[in-house]
Structure 1
Amino acid sequence: MNSIVISTAYITLGQMLKEAGIIDTGGMAKWYLSEHIVYVNGEEENRRGKKLVLGDVVTLADGAEYQIVEK
């Protein structure tokens, strides 16, 4: 499982995808979420503005997992 380190209260799903290197720009988030299945804590999610907090786990369709952790 990969870790996404944050120093704020939350990070949006779109920002997380960019931080993880899955997309190149924030503008690609809407397209990516419409073309790929993404799960947040086991539930399908397609909102790029979804707030992710410490401990949340994002799972991509290819099985890659990312956990939100504290700095």
Structure 2
Amino acid sequence: MQKFVLEGEFIHMIQLLKALNWVEHGAMAQYVVEEGMVTYNGVVDYRKRLKVRRGDKVEFDGQMVEIV
């Protein structure tokens, strides 16, 4: 599992996907979230502006990251 060091209080889901280079651009990040291809703490979540915080886990396309 990959770890992502959070610098502030939170990061929006679509920004996280871009920062991890799991998607090529913002439109693709929005698409994969809207289509239910991303899980947040084990549950599919469709919110693009979801605030991901320390301790959360995000999974997409066989990759998982823990926010630290």
Question: What TM-score comes out, normalization by structure 2 length?
Answer: 0.85
Runs of 4+ in 1 over 3 A off after TM superposition: none
Report the alpha carbon displacement of residue 27 of structure 1 after superposing the two structures with TM: 2.9
Q: How many residues end up aligned between the 2 structures? A: 68
Structure 1, unpaired ranges of 5+: none
CA RMSD of aligned residues (A): 1.5
8 Å CA contact retained: 2:5, 2:67: yes
User: What is the identity percentage for the equivalent residue pairs of Structure 1 and Structure 2?
Assistant: 32
8 Å CA contact retained: 1:37, 1:44: yes
Measure, in 2, the Cα distance between the counterparts of 1:68 and 1:8. Answer: 11
Question: What TM-score comes out, normalization by structure 1 length?
Answer: 0.82
Structure 2, unpaired ranges of 5+: none
